[in-house]
Chains A and B, each alone.
Chain A
Amino acid sequence: MPDAIEVTDLTKIFGTTVAVDHVSFSVKEGEIFGFLGPNGAGKTTTTRMLAGVIPPDSGSAMILGHDIQREPVLAKQEFGVVPETSNAYTDLTAWQNLMLMGELYGISSARATERASNLLGALGLLERKDQKVQAYSKGMKQRLILAMALLHEPRLLFLDEPTSGLDVQSTQMILSLLRDLNRAGTTIFLTTHNMEEANRLCHRVGIIRSGRIVALDAPEKLKAAIDRLHRIEVSFGREIPAEALARLPGVLSADRIGDKWQITTENRDALIRLLVQFSREQGVAIVTLNTLAPSLDDAFLRLTREASL
């Protein structure tokens, strides 16, 4: 299959911040590609360059066969964008916003009317279509933005953290619509800082950190790498020295958080046994002991470390 997105050495610098640093990757047609990374990693900046909103400082991006810099209009005609912050016209109604999109994409008004009704229906906004967007909740705005991005039946959809901060109902509606679209052939590029979401939805994910891609693979493989990493939270009856904990075999890191210690390890079982033994030797009681799911930050740390090896 041909590539829907082909990114080569894309770079963006704001002042002294290198927001995106020579990023290269490609997305196949028909794929759901997740762009995963913590806040400030450069996800939004990359998406905006791909969508032709801001120009890169160097590098290039081919979108559906068009260079986004050289043939922006032809490329934009073929994709839809759901940006990070809602950007419908709040002084217009949902319906007027959709009709404006229809005209900006050069769709006949009969077709735009039909598409708008279908999309608003599918996204549960049909009864409120003549209300100004001002009065919409965050979830409703986001669903409207998605409808606006889909009006012209794009072959490719960019979404920047589409479910971040949304209610459960809106999130479910959006995710199920994305799956349906993809089944019907739409290529989807989405950014998220939610590992679970990427895992459930994406065929492939790229992990970005500080503007660089640190991993690019199927989510199962990345998850396997992350699952090797565990965190244990423990607190003791009295103060114990940090070096004593850090010296235990198998401990990757030990951080003090409040009155608890957070310890990361690859072997959870062995560490718990060691901690029990440690408390007996030191003559100190274990007050609490919890095992924690690996956090995204752990995953990033892990993946960055592997990438630099």
Chain B
Amino acid sequence: MNPAGFSEQVRRSWAVAKKDIRIYYIKGPVLIFGIFMPVFLFLAFLMGSRQLPLAFLVSGLVGMALFFTATAVSPAIFPWEGQAKTLERLASCPITVEAIVFGDMIASTLFGIGITLITVIIGLFLGLSLLHAITLCAGILLAACCFSAIGMLLAVPPTNTPSNIMMLSSLIKFPLVFISGIFIPLEQMPHWGMALAVCSPLTYFTDLVRYSFTGTNYFQVPFDIAALMVFTIVFTAGTMYLHKRTMPKRM
């Protein structure tokens, strides 16, 4: 066994992920938030805008559910653990910063996928037909990874005050939702709107979900997938690099 080897570090990431799930995700308030949020979003959507078809709304909803759940908890984990000094424990264990970040990403990816599947099931109950299940699953998996990398990216400022980081992440997350074709179809967006939309990974995921439920989409499926992949790789590499640099400042 080479403790510093890639496979051994990935295995240790999994230990971090299990710890996260146990401590931060399987908690009453978090689960209630995770399950009720999609339900309330559904209600709000159904009551709010009747001029758009259900299939369009559900796509946006699935997009939002995944985006919000995959980024809900992870930005606060480092501040929490910095405050509780458990981060110092991790720092003295034979695990790299990259592997710790990866572990946190695994946990938020799994949480995001779980809650999103609930949303999809609610949609199916409401009478939607799922046309492209494999595309949807691939999209959810990829986007969950991408969004969890965004969640960790939001955690980069080395503060040990969780509320600061939650505030900051809301400031970034909400605007992103408005430019991602969730409330306004991409076809109806003005030019400047489109220019913003292509910068948001949520746009491509929403497009994929729409394709899965309605068969129509704005971009091509391979393009959506490629875009999500590029975002995932760039964000993951970026967040690992930045955390490596800021980690000592948390101690």
Contacts and interface: CB of A to CB of B under 8 A. Distances in A.
**Chain B, interface size: which category?**
20 to 34
A53 B12 contact: no
Contacts of A179: none
Interface in B51-88: 84-86, 88
Contacts of A73: 3-4, 9, 94-96
Interface string A50-78: 01111100000000000000011110110
Nearest to B16: A104
Nearest to B3: A77
Contact of A89 (B4, B19, B93): B19
A182 interface: no
B188 interface: no
B53 to A, nearest CB: 45
Interface string B9-42: 1011011101100110000000000000000000
Contacts of B16: 104
A91 B23 contact: yes
B127 interface: no
Q: Would you call the interface of chain A mostly helix, strand, loop, or mixed?
A: loop
**Chain A, interface size: which category?**
20 to 34
Nearest to B89: A87
B248 A104 contact: no
Given A73-B4, A89-B23, A55 B92 contact: no
A76 B92 contact: yes
A92 B251 contact: no
A16 to B, nearest CB: 17
B92 A52 contact: yes
Interface in B170-195: none
A74 B91 contact: no
Contacts of B8: 106
Nearest to B15: A103
B1 interface: yes
Contacts of A74: 3-4, 94
Contacts of B251: 48, 53-54
Interface string B91-126: 111111000000000000000000000000000000
B22 A92 contact: yes
A101 interface: yes
A105 B93 contact: yes
A85 interface: yes
Nearest to B103: A104
Interface of B: 1, 3-4, 8-9, 11-12, 14-16, 18-19, 22-23, 84-86, 88-96, 248, 251
8 contacts: A72-B94, A73-B9, A76-B93, A83-B89, A92-B19, A100-B18, A103-B11, A106-B1
Given A106-B1, A106-B12, 7 more contacts: A74-B94, A76-B94, A83-B92, A91-B22, A100-B15, A103-B15, A103-B18
